[in-house]
Structure 1
Amino acid sequence: MTMKVDLFYSFRSPYSYLALPKTRELVTDYDLDVNLRPVYPLAVRVPGFFKKANPQFARYVVRDSTRVAEYQNIPFRFPRPDPIVQDMTTLEVAAEQPYIHRLTRLAAMAQLEGRSLQFTSAIAPVLWDGSVAGWNEGDHLARAAESAGFDLAAMDAAISTDPDRYEQVIAENEKDHAASGHWGVPTFVFESEPFFGQDRIDLLLWRMQGKGLAKR
């Protein structure tokens, strides 16, 4: 029987991006279905989060995620522009958030089709791997989406006609994420047990194997 895991994912989280290669390997190697469920980043989900966090928090995340990428040989550079419109000097988060709303709604649409992991695996590297100067410019996202069998223009058009439908999907994801026992991303949830962080995938695999996870 195919095992199922939820993956709560944010497009601003470097660790979410860094979790994708191992996650895809799991799906390739094992009889496993990973339901990637996009949520908004803490900057949007928890107003004032960065102002309340230790000032060293963001600096450490930058240093550590860069180190993890180097160790795992994953192409990596922080997105330009940042998916969250935020003044990193004052830590003020802008009221208008065009980038993260678009990205998260697109992934929610792919989730409804049962293909959110495929969509995100194609799109996220455009933001994070440093291969393009501006991920939001030109046809970078469209070509990446097309490589995974998605029509980005059609998706954008569908979302623009009924954005509330996709906001409801995201809200439900955030509700279930909060109920899982963790607030950060990436969080994998298997049989109601949360595994937070890209460095807990091996532990997740161990747990699933103990429950009979089979190789493909």
Structure 2
Amino acid sequence: MKTITYYLSPQSPWTYLGHDRLVAIAQKHGAAIEPRPCALGKAIFPISGGLPLNKRSPQRQAYRLVELQRWSEVLGVPLNLHPRFFPIDESIPATAIAAAIHLEGNAAALKFAGAILRAVWAEERDISNEDTLAELAGGCGLDGAAILAARPQALGRYEAYTRDAIEQQVFGAPWYVYKGEPFWGQDRLDFLDRALAA
């Protein structure tokens, strides 16, 4: 089976904008998706030249907002440019996703990740709050209490995903890998689509 490895940040607006399109593209080609939440801000940016948003130049911060608005309108995906709960400690929702992978499998965790992304960028919810995460998990048909209980054990899995991302030379999110070929950003999904069709 065709398999896409999907490195993501649960608080990235670009990951949010591409998430449902990625799922649709994979379904079209009969491909499986392996979601891999990783520590973008704390581990990957420092060794790859990336900067957290608040340390980027004013010009870059301003243009980011222009691009987010453009993509939101073009895709017809609702997006709050200034969400109330952003930024947050991404390790909290990321380890919840990692726990869901372990307990329920990739497909269930992928659905959960989509709910988490929508929560921060479209629903003004705090994805670093465990009650919120439990509710989101329940809305996806998952056992929220079990996922939260498994978060401490999932930390090792999250760290392993981050090490793997570093080995794969990931430097941003979303990042997709198919047959060893990397695709950075939701604006590269057309290229991934073509690769899957080849």
The TM-score, its normalising length taken from structure 1, stands at 0.77
> Which residue number corresponds to residue 18 of structure 1?
17
Structure 1 segment 60-71 matched on structure 2, within 5 A = 60-71=63-74
Matched, 1:148 2:147: no
Identity of matched residues, %? 27
Q: In the alignment, what sits opposite 1:111?
A: 101
Aligned match of 1:32: 31
**1:181 and 1:194 in contact (8 A); partners too:** no
CA deviation vs aligned residue, 1:172-206 (integer Å, no higher than 9, x gap): 21222222233111010011110001011110111
**Structure 1 residues 106 and 140: CA distance shift in structure 2, 3 A:** closer
Matched-pair contact (CA < 8 Å) for 1:126–1:141: no
Matched, 1:75 2:78: yes
8 Å CA contact 1:12–1:83 kept in 2: the answer is yes
Matched ranges for 1:194-213 at <5 A = 194-210=182-198
Contact 1:7 1:36 in 2 (8 A): yes
After alignment, is 5-14 or 26-35 more displaced?
26-35
- The whole-number CA distance in structure 2 between the counterparts of 1:61 and 1:105 is 27
Are residues 108 and 22 of structure 1, via their aligned partners in 2, closer, same or farther at CA, if it must alter by over 3 Å?
same
Deviation of 1:32 after TM superposition, in Å, equals 0.6
| SS of residue paired to 2:117 | helix
2:161 to 162, 173, 183: 173
Residue 28 of structure 1 and its aligned partner are, at CA, apart by 2.8
In the TM superposition, 1:120-199 aligns within 5 A as: 120-129=113-122, 131-132=123-124, 140-159=132-151, 163=152, 165-199=153-187
Name the one with the larger helix percent: 2
Which of 47, 56, 60 is equivalent to 1:57?
Answer: 60
Larger radius of gyration: 1
2 CA distance for matches of 1:143 and 1:208?
A: 34
Q: Is the 1:35–1:116 Cα contact (8 Å) retained in structure 2?
A: no
Q: Tell me the CA shift for residue 16 of structure 1.
A: 0.4
Q: Could you tell me which amino acid in structure 2 is paired with residue 62 of structure 1? A: L
Tell me, in whole angstroms, the C-alpha distance in 1 between the residues paired with 2:157 and 2:60: 29
1:136 is displaced (CA, Å) by 5.8
How many pairs align? Answer: 189
The answer to whether the 8 A contact 1:27-1:33 is kept is yes
Q: Is the 8 A contact 2:10 2:116 kept in 1?
A: no
